[in-house]
Amino acid sequence: MIFSTVAAAFALLPLAFSHPLEKRQNALPPVNSATDESVLQLALYLEHLELSLYTGGFENFTDAEYTAAGFPPGFRENVGVIAQHEATHASTIATILSDAGYTPVPPCSYKFPYNDPKSFVGLANMITSVGIGAYLGGGSLLTDDPNLLTAASSILT
For 102-152, what is each residue's pLDDT tens digit?
899 999 999 999 999 999 999 999 998 887 777 677 766 766 666 666 666
Higher pLDDT, 58 or 11: 58
Q: How far apart are CA 62 and CA 60, in angstroms?
A: 7
Task: State the Cα–Cα distance between residues 151 and 133, nearest whole angstrom.
Answer: 16
**Nearest CA to 131 among 120, 139, 142, 143?**
139
State residue 152's pLDDT score: 61
Q: In terms of pTM, does the model score above 0.75?
A: no
Residue 59 vs residue 97, higher pLDDT: 59
pLDDT exceeds 80 at position 99: yes
Q: Are 155 and 135 in contact (CB under 8 A)?
A: yes
Tell me which residue of 82, 79, 94 sits closest to 19, measured CA to CA.
82
pLDDT tens sequence across 6-45: 344 434 434 443 444 344 444 555 565 567 788 889 889 9
DSSP character for 28? P
